[in-house]
Amino acid sequence: SQKIEQNSEALNIQEGKTATLTCNYTNYSPAYLQWYRQDPGRGPVFLLLIRENEKEKRKERLKVTFDTTLKQSLFHITASQPADSATYLCALGGYSSASKIIFGSGTRLSIRP
Partner 1 sequence: GAVVSQHPSWVICKSGTSVKIECRSLDFQATTMFWYRQFPKQSLMLMATSNEGSKATYEQGVEKDKFLINHASLTLSTLTVTSAHPEDSSFYICSALEGGQGNQPQHFGDGTRLSIL
Positions in the binding site for partner 1 (CB under 8 A): 31-32, 34, 36, 41-46, 49, 51, 89, 93-94, 97-106
Cβ of residue 103: shortest distance to partner 1, in angstroms?
Answer: 5
Cβ of residue 16: shortest distance to partner 1, in angstroms?
Answer: 28
Number of other residues whose CB lies within 10 A of the CB of residue 47? 17
Residues in contact with 60: Cβ distance below 8 Å, sequence separation at least 6, in sequence order: none
Residue among 19 and 89 whose Cβ is closer to partner 1: 89
Residue among 19 and 92 whose Cβ is closer to partner 1: 92
* Cα 38 from chain centre: 11
Strands 19-26 and 72-77 come out as antiparallel
What does each C-alpha distance from 1 to 4, 27, 78 come to in angstroms?
Answer: 10, 7, 34
Cβ of residue 69: shortest distance to partner 1, in angstroms?
Answer: 21
Residue among 15 and 54 whose Cβ is closer to partner 1: 54
